[in-house]
Amino acid sequence: MNECYYDKRMDFFYNRTKADTADEWTGPQLIGVLCFGTFFCLFIFISNSLVIAAVVKNKRFHFPFYYLLANLAAADFFAGIAYVFLMFNTGPVSKTLTVNRWFLRQGLLDTSLTASLVNLLVIAVERHMSIMRMKIHSNLTKKRVTFLIISIWAIAIFMGAVPTLGWNCLCDITVCSSLAPIYSRSYLVFWSVLNLVVFFIMVVVYIRIYMYVQRKTNVLSSHTSGSISRRRTPVKLMKTVMTVLGAFVVCWTPGLVVLLLDGLNCTDCGIQNVKRWFLLLALLNSVMNPIIYSYKDDEMWATMKRMICCSSEDKSQERRSSRIPSTVLCRSTDISGHYIEDGIIQGTICGKGDLGDKGNS
């Protein structure tokens, strides 16, 4: 029977795997990493809080897609909490941690990644439901969206707790990982392959949907400009979602590949030399998402700006189109970017007329 090591501290496992935890995390370099991480974590907390508040405050965002977008921001906010906990429990401190505290540290990171990944997958389904019908928003009810959000977090918490529940190497240290000294290598292979496969599936789905919309738009190019605009509307949302997905894949794929190599016991891959940089790259993903939202969606940025400046602007414009489901305000005079829902031209939302009130009266 194999001996279990639940009562050992992490120095026992780090020394056994010869993982460097102190030499490169002392002095000025440690201070620099902490300052860098603290700044970006504060930005993550503030910016993602603004995204969530914007969705709650602006009635134009009260649709399934934006609820899920707010939940993605909540996942990024949670990731910020995980990074803060990691910062103060890493480096020389790592070897002093108990097994349970180390499980908590890694479980927070795994939960935040799973929450973001599953949320993006649900958004892909929501986009498929709406865009294949050439609609801006799907017909998901608030109850179903609430159920989906609860399910996302239930799955994320479960996946983050899997190693704690037993899939670890505490009772068989011969299969311990190098990067995660109390994780089983088989778990790392499962974890990384599962995430990479989901990445690939989502990319394929979004490319397929985008090509479908483009093809439909070209077929209908002989129709009126309003009809073209109505059918091009989903493309605008697709660009935002694909940008968010692209940033997620770029930021997380290198780290997952490193975990996969470690799970495959690649001793000559130099994974110890790059693990921290890939972790910082993953941190940047939670920084980038709020920037993408505000850059791609003018109304999101306008709402966030009003909250930042605490200005009492005239609310008549918001009331004029509060019942019109919109996604992005028109950026310029490009008529193809104007949003239409049931024949109502987005120019109304941009203040070009009162068709919104007439259509809703």
Domain coordinates of the chain in residue numbers?
Answer: 10-221+230-309
Examine the pLDDT at 87 and tell me if it is beyond 80: yes
Q: In terms of CATH, what superfamily is 10-221+230-309?
A: Rhodopsin 7-helix transmembrane proteins (1.20.1070.10)
Which residue would you say has higher pLDDT here, 239 or 10? 10
pLDDT score recorded for residue 135:
65
| Band of pLDDT at residue 310, cut at 50, 70 and 90 | low
Question: What's the pTM value of the predicted model, to 2 decimals?
Answer: 0.76
**Rounded to whole angstroms, how far apart are CA atoms 196 and 199?**
5
- Residue by residue, DSSP assigns 150-162 as HHHHHHHHHHHHH
Residues 148 and 70 sit within 8 Å (Cβ to Cβ): no
The average pLDDT across 49-65 equals 87
Per-residue b or e along 172-189, where b marks 16 or more CB atoms closer than 10 Å to that residue's CB? ebeebbbbbbbbbbebbb
Residues 119 and 68 sit within 8 Å (Cβ to Cβ): yes
Per-residue pLDDT reduced to its tens digit, 184-243: 999 999 999 999 999 888 888 888 887 777 777 676 655 555 444 454 555 666 677 778
pLDDT score recorded for residue 137:
65
- 99-131 and 142-165 helices, crossing angle to 10°: 150
Distances (CA, A) of 355 to 22, 89, 247, 261, 326: 65, 57, 37, 58, 14
pLDDT score recorded for residue 77:
94
pLDDT score recorded for residue 358:
38
Find which of 180-184, 242-246, 355-359 is predicted with most confidence, using mean pLDDT: 180-184
Residue type, 8: K
Examine the pLDDT at 347 and tell me if it is beyond 50: no
pLDDT score recorded for residue 127:
80
